[in-house]
């Protein structure tokens, strides 16, 4: 998928919005002096990397505690670009920490920061492209979210907690999934991943957890104006005892009780449980 440049974002129309629970940055509360300092064109050649070993900076961070790793990345980014401490926030999500950066939408800043974070071992996980933020001087900013390219392996935890995990999909795919299984994919335009994934939910997920997952999936699909959109989802059970021993699980920071694997799940390990109707989420202002 082609990444849009900052200039392309500037040319697009946008809808101003009030802050929601998912927002990290409130431009009304950030001092104008900080925003003025950050409103610059970022220099793509400033990132301090040994070009004989392109991953040298990333290797420094690998093998350390994740909080220490992401803190090092914060130090590198804020000391390299005109990005203040207030514009780089380490957030505790449902399944651990991720980074949120407030980026000035000017020139090719978006591409520069995305490439820099990728070099440091992070990838852009939840673009908020349609929710540009506007400061009191009518300048446009974007909240870019990043998570580690290699998240912690939680396979042992998943197996220790339950013998199953769940999967939810529009009911129209029921027979296809039962026949062909679940194959990793990377075709969701709302998120970008470092690899193809099969998304699941923990075996300890409650009825409320599964309902929240279905509501979230339906909300994402509704934004894409998919033809013949259905609000009925099929819930599947995946038997962990029937999976290949090479199947590993990782937490999905975007969904409560969410996990994923990069390994195909065969139909022999999947059984249909029941359907669940999505409850449309209230529109965001």
User: Of 88, 115, 148, which residue is a domain's last?
Assistant: 148
In sequence order, the 6+-apart residues with CB closer than 8 A to the CB of 2 are none
Q: Which residue has the higher pLDDT, 185 or 262?
A: 262
Q: Are residues 140 and 174 both part of a single domain?
A: no
For 9-27, how does the pLDDT look when each residue is reduced to its tens digit (9 = 90+)?
Answer: 444 433 344 444 467 889 9
Residues 11 and 68 reside in one and the same domain? yes
Q: Does residue 141 share a domain with residue 25?
A: yes
Q: How confident is the model at residue 65 (pLDDT cuts 50, 70, 90)?
A: confident
What's the pTM? 0.58
- Within the chain, where are the H helices? 6-11, 32-38, 56-61, 66-80, 109-119, 155-161, 174-180, 207-223
Range of the domain at 273: 155-277
CB count within 10 Å of CB 272 equals 14
Per-residue pLDDT of 192-228, as tens digits, reads: 555 788 999 999 999 999 999 999 888 878 877 777 7
Among 95, 115, 148, the domain boundary falls at 148
> Angle, to 10 degrees, between the axis of helix 109-119 and the axis of helix 66-80?
140
Task: Let me know whether 123 and 213 are in one domain.
Answer: no
Tell me how many domains the chain contains: 2
Residue 224 lies in a domain: yes
Q: Name which residue leads in pLDDT, 133 or 285.
A: 133
What are the φ and ψ backbone dihedral angles of 265, each rounded to 5 degrees?
-110, 120
Dist. CA 43–CA 112, nearest whole Å = 8
Kindly give, in sequence order, each residue whose CB lies less than 8 Å from that of residue 130, ignoring residues fewer than 6 positions away.
14, 15
Residue at 180 is within a domain:
yes
H/E run at residue 235:
strand 232-239
Q: Are residues 14 and 123 both part of a single domain?
A: yes
- CATH code of 232's domain: 3.20.170.30
How many CB atoms sit inside 10 A of residue 271's CB?
Answer: 13
282 located within any domain = no
Report the C-alpha dihedral over residues 160, 249, 177, 266, rounded to 10 degrees.
Answer: -80
pLDDT above 90 as % of the chain: 41
pLDDT value of residue 50:
45
CB 276 within 8 A of CB 233: yes
Tell me how far apart the alpha carbons of residues 56 and 73 are, in angstroms, rounded to a whole number: 13
Give a yes or no: residue 1 inside a domain.
no
Phi, psi of 165 (to 5 degrees): -135, 165
What mean pLDDT, rounded, does the chain reach? 80
- Whether residue 205 is contained in a domain is answered as yes
Strand partners of residue 271: 237
Is residue 283 included in any domain, yes or no?
no
40 and 143 share one domain: yes
The per-residue pLDDT for range 100-148, each reduced to its tens digit, is 999 999 989 998 998 888 878 788 876 545 568 999 999 999 999 888 7
Q: Determine the average pLDDT of the residues in 235-263.
A: 89
- 30 and 102 within one domain: yes
Domain end among 107, 130, 148: 148
Check whether residue 128 and residue 169 sit in a common domain: no
Are 167 and 254 in the same domain?
yes
What is the mean pLDDT of the segment spanning 279-285?
58
- pLDDT at position 138 is 93
């Amino acid at each position: 998928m082609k990444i849009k440049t900052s200039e392309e974002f500037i040319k697009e129309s946008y809808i101003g919005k009030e802050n929601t629970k998912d927002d990290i940055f409130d431009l009304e509360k950030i001092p104008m002096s900080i925003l003025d300092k950050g409103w610059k064109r970022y220099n793509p050649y400033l990132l301090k990397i040994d070009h004989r070993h392109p991953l040298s900076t990333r290797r420094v961070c690998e093998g350390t505690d994740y909080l220490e790793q992401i803190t090092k990345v914060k130090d590198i980014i804020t000391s390299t670009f005109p990005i203040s401490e207030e514009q780089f926030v380490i957030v505790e999500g449902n399944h651990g920490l991720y980074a949120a950066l407030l980026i000035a939408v000017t020139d090719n800043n978006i591409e520069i920061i995305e490439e820099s974070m990728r070099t440091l071992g992070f990838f852009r996980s939840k673009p908020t492209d349609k929710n540009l933020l506007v400061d009191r001087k009518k300048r446009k900013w974007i909240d870019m979210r990043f998570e580690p390219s290699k998240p912690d392996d939680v396979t042992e935890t998943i197996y220790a907690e339950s013998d199953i995990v769940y999967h939810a999909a529009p009911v129209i795919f029921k027979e296809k999934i039962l026949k062909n299984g679940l194959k990793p994919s990377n075709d969701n335009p709302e998120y970008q991943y470092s690899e193809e994934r099969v998304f699941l939910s923990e075996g300890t997920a409650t009825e409320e957890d599964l309902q929240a997952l279905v509501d979230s999936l339906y909300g994402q699909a509704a934004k894409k104006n998919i033809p013949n959109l259905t609000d009925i989802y099929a819930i599947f059970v995946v038997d962990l005892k029937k999976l290949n021993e090479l199947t590993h699980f990782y937490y999905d920071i975007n969904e409560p009780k969410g996990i994923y694997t990069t390994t195909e799940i065969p139909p022999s390990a999947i059984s249909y449980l029941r359907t669940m109707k999505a409850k449309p989420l209230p529109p965001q202002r």
